[in-house]
Amino acid sequence: MRNLIVKLKRFFLKFVFYCFVGSILWVLLYAIIPVPITPLMIFRLVENISEGKELILYKDWISYNNISPNLPIAVVAAEDQKFVDHKGFDFESMKKAFKGNQKGHKIKGGSTISQQVAKNAFLWPSRTYLRKGLEAYFTVLIEIFWSKKRIMTVYLNIIEMGNGVYGAEAASMYYWKKNAIDLSKEQAAGIAAILPNPRKWSPNTARRKGWIMRQMRNLGGELNYEKGVEQDKTKEK
């Protein structure tokens, strides 16, 4: 019996070690290659099959330089205004969200862009404590091994932006028949506005679009991943 316990202990330690090494290698791989598919994309496809719906998957990986500067500003304005400054977590927002949810208010979970990338690139869609714990773990890893620009690039290429629509290029072509590099400020704000519920909301009628555009004007310029948001000195006061 004792030998069995020792063997099980060794097996468990080896399993944990290989998972740890494997996760780091996985993160390092995605630091240099496009993310081919995400667990959420697979989940949506299986969901459509089970419901007898048409299989829809629009995605087209493009480089950061082929995305309009309006879109990173828009998603930062809408989702995570401390993105370039934090280390993966916005504890103040998480605290506010927790307190609001405790009171029964419908408040988003306070997830940063980094956390959303960790969840979408590496993990399955669920709300379990295990998934949240792994999300925190992968968030730490990508903050260590990726640059902020890489995190944003992956985010803008894999995030769900409509029914079967993933990433900036696919969304731009789906909604406006144009490339992501040509997105206007209003169109970028429209995409950012639907991110909390992209399969039900439309970027053309999103209610948060006006608020996001005001936040974009306050942030101004383009994202400077070394010094935060670079203010546009020519913007109107």
pLDDT of residue 101: 61
Whole-number CA gyration radius for the chain = 19
C-alpha closest to that of 65 among 145, 142, 176, 152: 152
Least reliable range by pLDDT among 104-113, 144-153, 203-212, 214-223: 104-113
Using 50, 70 and 90 to split pLDDT, how confident is the model at 99?
Answer: low
C-alpha closest to that of 143 among 108, 117, 164: 117
Is pLDDT of 182 > 50?
yes
DSSP 146-172: S-HHHHHHHHHHHSEEETTEESHHHHH
Using 50, 70 and 90 to split pLDDT, how confident is the model at 233?
Answer: very low
Least reliable range by pLDDT among 146-150, 200-204, 222-226: 222-226
Third-level CATH fold of 35-229: Penicillin binding protein transpeptidase fold (1.10.3810)
The CA distance from 208 to 216, in Å, is 12
- Residue 224 DSSP one-character state: E
* pLDDT, tens only, 60-87: 999 999 999 999 999 999 999 999 999 8
pLDDT of residue 136: 96
Most confident of 3-12, 44-53, 65-74: 65-74
The residues facing 58 across adjacent strands are 165
